[in-house]
Structure formats: C-alpha cells, structure tokens
Structure 1
Amino acid sequence: MSFKLHPLIDNGLKKGSESFSGGTLSCHCPSEKVTVSLSSNVLHNHACGCSKCWKPSSAIFSIVGVIPTSNLSITANASKLHIVDASAPIQRHACKSCGVHMFGRIEIEHAFKGLDFVHVELSGEEGWQEPQFAAFVSSVVEQGLVAPEDMEGVRGQLKGVGLETYDALSPGLMDAIATFVAKKNGTLRTSKL
C-alpha cells in the first residue's frame, strides 16, 4: 500500500542548493496574496506529522523548515494574517482567507526562540533545502490519518526516500532543547574529552 505523504516527498526528494539565497512564499488566495520574503535558505527542513502544522489537502505530513527570525519579512497583505492558536508555543500566522500558515514564531522563552517555522512549498523558487528527516511520525495515528497497523508501511515509505523517522524531533534538535533546559537550570556540563 502506498500513502500520500506529501507532494514534495511522494516521488522522491529533490536536492536543494547549498548556494540558494532565499525567496518568496505566497498564500493560496487567488488575489491579494499574503507574501513573505525569506533572505536565506531554511535549516532542519523536515516532514512533520504533528496536528498543528499546516498540510496541503490529502497530505499526511507537512514539510516545515526553520529560518532566523531576522531573515523573514512580511512583504504584502500583512493585515490578512491572524494567529491560529494564541496559547500554542509556536504562534502560527495564517491567512484569514485561505487558511495557509505563512510562518510560525516563538515569542516565549524557548530553545527555538529566534527561529521562524516556514513551509517552503509556498514558494515558486527552486533550491530550498530538501527534507532532512521525518518528525512526530506516530502523531498521524492520533489524528486518525493512518491506522496503527499501517505505520510500518508509512515509516518504510519515508525511509525509502531517505528520511529517517522519529517520534519527536531529530537527535540534534532534541539535544538543542535539552541544552537550553540545562543552561536555564544551571545544570549544563562541559565535556571532559
């Protein structure tokens, strides 16, 4: 059985360009689009199975990367944006008309504060970093998108295109969160090596 994971991964990954310098994201409105400019490529681009991230219709996963907040600017129709869930750590700014999430920003003290979460599929430019891994994979079961007995197939499909699967974030990102907490708590150790 084959699953519609996401249009950017269903037919294999398209390698991004190390020298890509950014581009413009646009919402799905037919006119008066919200546009966001990114002045660099994204980092940690990944397939995300969480229930909060915006996904194209019929996709099981979203594709989301991060970019420094200073590298993102709203360039048109900012008045059409609203925050989807003000209580969430990531304040997802979506178009009021079409519902597309343009970016997510963390305003509270957090390991990822200073990074914005974006969906580069909203860009017409090519060269964006390809997805690097799949996160929160088992969350697709919680949302009723996939039956538990089909998860081996979903993970197999993701691994088949080269995406390691995690039920949280990648080890490097989880280490960043743990480091942030250790610094905050005064428990950060330094290497003896």
Structure 2
Amino acid sequence: MTISLHPMLDSGVTPGTGDFAGGTLSCHCTDRTVTVTVDGDVAHNHACGCTKCWKPEGAAFAVVGVVPREKVAITRNGDKLAIVDESAAIQRHACTVCGVHLYGRIENKDHGFYGLDFVHAELFDKKGAAAPGFAAFVSSIIEGGVDPSETTPVRAQLKTLGLEPYDCLNPTLMDVLATQAYKLKQAA
C-alpha cells in the first residue's frame, strides 16, 4: 500500500524557481477568505509528520518552510484567525472556519527559531517556492494514524523523492537549536 505523503510530493518534488519573490497564502474558505502576504521565498522547506501541523485531507505529512516574521502580514479577514494551541512552541494561526493554518509564529525570544514564521508553501497563489529538502518527525505519522508497519516503506518513498527522513529536524536545524540552548546555558 502506498501512503499519500502530500499532494506536493505524491507525484514527485517540483524544484523551486530560485527567484521566488513570495506571494499570498489563502485559507480554503470561499466566503471571507483569510489571506496572508509573504514577502520572499521559504527556507528549510520540509515534509513534516508531526501531529500539530495542518495537513491536506488524506495526507500523512504537512509541507512547511520558514520566512522571517517581518516578511509576513495578514492582509484580509484576520479576524477569522485563532491560535490552535496557545501552549505550543509554535503558535499556529488557523482559520476558525475551514481550519487551514496560515502561519505559525514563535513568541519565545529564547527559542532558536525566534524571528521565523512557519508557512505552508502549497497555499501560495503562485508556483515557484523552494522545494522541500528533507522530511522531519517521520515516526510521528504513527501518532497521526499510519500503521507502524508502513513507516519503513514511507521512509523509502521519501528517499526516492530525495527527501532524507529524520525523526527530528535535519542536522542543520538541530544544530541551530543546540547552539541556542548552549548560549542560554552560558548566559545563566
């Protein structure tokens, strides 16, 4: 059985254009659509298997990248946004009607990713954003309902797409978090 990873991945990974200047993210509502403008391309775009990220119907993974928070602006119907879980490190802002996450923000200034917002590149109004480069939190798809016997084939499927599977973030991002933890420890 082949698991649907994500609509952006199931038919192969489409490379980004390398000059993507950003665009508008939109929720799925047809009435009073929430829009968020992103000025620039995403970085560290990846497939995420965690159970907190929004996923399209039937997908085992989300596809999430980051942008500097100052490059993100709510442009329409922001009154429909609410934080999904205020106790989470990433404050995911979702449409209260359709449930689509428009952006996630880290408010903790001591967090290694403070200053970055998490966005779903598939929601852009145009194509060309940076392609996913790895898969994170792959084992978490079990918590999302995927049978544990499917994780080995899923990891193989991800590798076929050129997405190295990790059960955390990729080494570069884990180094960022560890460096911040070290700095905080030294400052204490």
- What is the letter of the counterpart of residue 115 of structure 1? L
User: In 2, Cα distance between the equivalents of 1:100 and 1:20?
Assistant: 23
Query: 1:25-174, aligned counterparts within 5 Å?
Result: 25-108=25-108, 109-144=110-145, 146-174=146-174
Work out the percentage of aligned pairs sharing the same amino acid.
Answer: 55
CA–CA separation in structure 2 for the residues paired with 1:57 and 1:123: 18
Unaligned runs of 5+ in 2: none
Q: Which amino acid aligns with 2:3?
A: F
- Distance in 2 separating the partners of 1:175 and 1:21: 28
SS at match of 1:149: helix
Q: Which runs of 5+ in 1 are unaligned?
A: 188-193
Partner secondary structure for residue 138 of structure 1 = helix
CA distance in 2 between counterparts of 1:92 and 1:148 reads 27
Residue 3 of structure 1: how far off its partner (Å): 1.2
What is the CA–CA distance in structure 2 between the aligned matches of 1:143 and 1:67, rounded to whole Å?
Answer: 26
Offset, 1:2: 1.4
Q: Aligned partners of 1:129, 1:90: CA distance in 2, in Å? A: 21
2:134–2:163 CA contact under 8 A, matched in 1: yes
User: Aligned-pair distance for 1:31?
Assistant: 2.0
- 1:116 positional shift: 0.2
Deviates more, 1:109-118 or 1:178-187: 178-187
Using the alignment, how far apart are the partners of 2:161 and 2:92 within structure 1?
28
Deviations along 1:87-128, whole A, 9 cap, x unmatched? 111110000111100000000120001000000111120110
Distance 2:58 2:30 in 1: 20
- Kept after mapping to 1: 8 A contact 2:43/2:66: yes
Q: Distance in 2 between matches of 1:26 and 1:147?
A: 32
CA contact (8 A) 2:45 2:133 kept: yes
Q: Write the deviation string for residues 120-143 of structure 1: whole angstroms up to 9, x where unpaired.
A: 111120110010100000001122
Show structure 1 runs of 4+ deviating over 4 A. Answer: none
Aligned residues of 2:60 and 2:144 also touching (Cα < 8 A): no
| CA distance in structure 2 between the partners assigned to 1:92 and 1:160 by the alignment | 30
Structural RMSD (CA): 0.9
TM-score, length-scaled by structure 2: 0.97
Task: Give the superposition deviation at 1:23.
Answer: 0.5
In the TM superposition, residue 186 of structure 1 has moved relative to its aligned partner by 1.2
